[in-house]
Amino acid sequence: MPESIPESLQAKIEERLRYYEDLGIRLFYRDRVAGEFSLQDSSPTPSPAPKVSLPEESPLPKPQSRMAVPAVAKPKPPVAPVIAPSGPSLFEEVDKVKDDTLLKIREDIGDCTRCKLHKGRHKIVFGDGSPKAQLVFVGEGPGADEDAQGLPFVGRAGKLLTQMIEAMGLQRKDVYICNVVKCRPPENRTPEPDEVQTCSPYLLRQIDVINPKVIVCLGAVAAKTLLETNRGITQFRGQWLEWRGRKLMATYHPAYLLRNPPAKADVWKDLQKVMAELGLQLTKKKST
């Protein structure tokens, strides 16, 4: 007589078999002669089955009532391809926008509500000056006076810029003046990145339409926007740089000069380089 299986082990074996049965596995049977558990073979002559060792103290997982059958996913209907609009994007370079003009750019801006700056503005400050200017000044954004009049650089900083232009032997009507953003930031704060990103494509189109020989960036915001850099303006102020095949000079903003008058000398040196590039002769003394 083979040695009988202890009742505790037999109970665990039975529980294990019930667990396998709940999982849909019913190929085990008990060999009453050998006292072992064997795997049934579908062939006519059963072959010796491997032993299945069961740990004495391993906990048994709770049997589930039935196996989870994965749901068959229904085929999704075909998705129609997205067709890009045929018109030019506002963020394309202007050489991809046919027959672009300053008037068309202004019409595209419209009564702009594309960023949060529109909530506090009175007037959009588009730009001012000659559409065929060889020299373009780019500032940061409108102030209170500009917001009221709808013209760039008409406040205290604007008067200083006018004096600088006249000291170069030019008048405001000979150059073009614009800003990175067209609406006044609250309390004249620095424009935020999302505001610059939204508005700057119009600035790029303005410059490309005018096609100046020289661009002067007034202050860090204008320089960083056009040059796409995070470097401080002092690292490249007064140096000739290239922007889309045009010469670019970065210098201090007139508002900074109002707070730091000694910096006027540095700006005047920068403007003299611009004058030399444009072939202008010094006809007036530097304005103070």
pLDDT single digits (tens) 225-234: 999 999 999 9
d(CA 215, CA 40): 89
Q: Which domain holds residue 23?
A: 7-39
- Tell me: do 240 and 139 sit in the same domain: yes
Question: Mind giving me the DSSP string for 95-147?
Answer: GGSTT--HHHHHHHHSS--SSGGGGT-SS----EE-TT-SEEEEES---HHHH
Examine residue 50 and state whether it is found in any structural domain, yes or no.
no
CA-to-CA distance for 164 and 271, rounded, in angstroms? 8
Residue 15 inside a domain? The answer is: yes
Asked if 135 and 210 touch (Cβ cutoff 8 Å), the reply is: no
Same domain as 242, residue 121: yes
- pLDDT, mean of residues 219-227: 98
Whether 30 is covered by a domain: the verdict is yes
Residue 181, in any domain of the structure = yes
Amino acid at 159: K
Both 34 and 137 in one domain: the answer is no
Question: What pLDDT does residue 186 have?
Answer: 97
- Residue 222 and residue 108 in one domain: yes
Mean pLDDT of 138-158: 98
Q: Classify residue 193: in a domain, yes or no.
A: yes
- Please write the tens of the pLDDT for every residue from 118-139: 999 999 999 999 999 999 999 9
Q: Provide the pLDDT confidence category of residue 152 given band limits of 50, 70 and 90.
A: very high
| Same domain assignment for residues 134 and 244 | yes
d(CA 61, CA 180) in angstroms, rounded, equals 68
pLDDT for position 85 = 37
Predicted confidence band at 24 (pLDDT cuts at 50, 70, 90)? low
Mean pLDDT within 158-183? 98
pLDDT more than 70, % of the chain: 69
Pick from 168, 277, 261, 122: nearest CA to 212: 277
Number of domains in the chain: 2
User: Are both 116 and 15 inside the same structural domain?
Assistant: no
pLDDT the model gives residue 8: 79
Q: Quick one: pLDDT band at residue 86, thresholds 50, 70, 90? A: very low
pLDDT tens, position by position, 246-264: 999 999 999 999 999 999 9
**Residue 13: per-residue pLDDT:** 80
Q: Are residues 132 and 232 in the same domain?
A: yes
pLDDT of residue 79 exceeding 70:
no
Mean pLDDT for all residues in the chain: 81
